[in-house]
Structure 1
Amino acid sequence: MALRGPKVWLWRWRRNPLKRRGDRVEAWVVLGVWMLTVFTGLLAGTTVSRSVEDGLARERAEWRPLVARLAERAPGAAPANGRVSRTETVWATARWTAADGSGHSGQLRVPAGSAVGAPVTVWTDPEGRQVTRPVTESQACVRASLIGGAAGLCAAAVPWVAGRSLRGRLERRRIDQWDAEWARFGPMWGRTTG
């Protein structure tokens, strides 16, 4: 690792008679890598975020609730107070008819002790298959932002890692050049005239 002095802003772009060609190349590499990293991250993040948000909006538009009827009595006893909490629901088989007239059945969460034929809401896709309840607009926005942010970070990591690797190679090459020059001129400094 090279010896580094105090941090000076934009030192790569300042005029210096000791600056070598390798220093200028490294300056452009650093600038290019940062620009590519930011551009790649933003492009991937916004693209994925829009895609996720569009998919969730399509689900909200296409998925519809239908009334299903229980095909069997739900296990357990109905609560005495009539209020059903999430912990007092059980899985039971229900049947429903899709918009195209085809019959479907599936497992749904229903209140414990529900009778056969009790109505239950089931969310279905256009083909009548059972799906989960679609997310709200605000939930979709949060989900799209999180997924887009993660995708942007992952995509931005690729040029950043490649740039770090290239910069490391340039730095090793510069150190090797310094070693070669030191080996050539270093012994001259120890000689005395006289």
Structure 2
Amino acid sequence: MRGTRRVRRLLWRWRSNPLRRHDDVVGAWIVLAVWMVIAIGGTLIGVQTAHTADKSFAQVRRERHPVQAVLVESTAPTVNMGAGTPYDQVRATVRWTAKDGATRTGRALLDPGQRAGSKVVVWLNGRERLTTEPTSASTAAVEADVFGAAAALAFAGLAFAAGRVVQWRFDQRLYDRWGREWEQLGPQWRRKTN
């Protein structure tokens, strides 16, 4: 019984009621439409963004491949910013053999404190140019989910703001109409109360 009363209170704008105005129904539909756009649109945009980001990360993983290289110059030790951070690496010249058998050299980010002549692993892109190591599948999945959630929240924020603008314009129109009606009816009431 209590649940039925709660539902009736929530849906009062749609129930038959002598005090219900057409504007109440329109306002309720505006609110419902905004929340539906937020729920459905936000979900679709979030899922699509996460899927697209995941595909992009997978494409990068497919295009890049590791290659054994030889360090041409020693890497100087640096102040350690923290294990695994990109700031604890230094640029150094490396030499590797390309697929066509030619020897190539270039500068890559490597761990500090290594001696010249030591073997290192560098990453090449599809055009056989030095690049960074691609994001792992698990890290890429987390990043894709974060991008999807951010896109869904951004869309929800924009939809909510647009809904508030529509509701504000609707309310302003109502206030203006009520003001005009009061200007017509107000003088009649003053005569009766004086």
SS at match of 1:173: helix
1:23 partnered with 2:14: no
Give distance in 1, aligned partners of 2:128 and 2:57.
Answer: 18
SS at match of 1:142: helix
Unaligned runs of 5+ in 1: 1-7, 78-84
Question: What is the aligned partner in structure 2 of residue 61 from structure 1?
Answer: 62
Question: What is the aligned partner in structure 1 of residue 176 from structure 2?
Answer: 176
Counterpart of 1:58 in structure 2: which amino acid? Q
SS at match of 2:50: helix
SS at match of 1:114: coil
Give distance in 2, aligned partners of 1:90 and 1:104.
Answer: 16
SS at match of 2:41: helix
1:98 partnered with 2:90: no
Give distance in 1, aligned partners of 2:146 and 2:90.
Answer: 32
Q: Say if 1:90 and 1:109, in contact at 8 Å, map to a contact too.
A: yes
SS at match of 1:94: strand
Give distance in 1, aligned partners of 2:176 and 2:25.
Answer: 17
Question: What is the aligned partner in structure 2 of residue 128 from structure 1?
Answer: 128
1:144 partnered with 2:144: yes
Higher mean C-alpha displacement, 104-113 vs 49-58: 104-113
SS at match of 2:13: helix
Question: What is the aligned partner in structure 1 of residue 5 from structure 2?
Answer: none
Q: Structure 1 135/170 Cα, relative in aligned 2: closer, same or farther at 3 Å?
A: same
SS at match of 1:108: strand
Q: Say if 2:108 and 2:131, in contact at 8 Å, map to a contact too.
A: no
Counterpart of 2:158 in structure 1: which amino acid? V
Aligned length: 178
Q: Structure 1 152/101 Cα, relative in aligned 2: closer, same or farther at 3 Å?
A: farther
Alpha-carbon distance, 1:113 to partner: 4.9
Q: Structure 1 27/101 Cα, relative in aligned 2: closer, same or farther at 3 Å?
A: farther
Alpha-carbon distance, 1:168 to partner: 0.4
Counterpart of 2:14 in structure 1: which amino acid? W
Alpha-carbon distance, 1:16 to partner: 2.2
Give distance in 2, aligned partners of 1:54 and 1:110.
Answer: 29
Question: What is the aligned partner in structure 1 of residue 164 from structure 2?
Answer: 164
Q: Say if 1:90 and 1:112, in contact at 8 Å, map to a contact too.
A: no
Q: Say if 1:95 and 1:105, in contact at 8 Å, map to a contact too.
A: yes
1:107 partnered with 2:108: yes
Higher helix proportion (structure 1 or 2): 2
Q: Identity over the aligned pairs, expressed in percent? A: 39
Q: Say if 2:64 and 2:125, in contact at 8 Å, map to a contact too.
A: yes
Q: Say if 1:89 and 1:112, in contact at 8 Å, map to a contact too.
A: no
TM value normalised by structure 1: 0.79
Alpha-carbon distance, 1:154 to partner: 1.4
SS at match of 2:96: strand
Alpha-carbon distance, 1:138 to partner: 1.8
Q: CA RMSD in A?
A: 2.6
TM value normalised by structure 2: 0.79
Alpha-carbon distance, 1:90 to partner: 4.1
Q: Structure 1 53/169 Cα, relative in aligned 2: closer, same or farther at 3 Å?
A: same
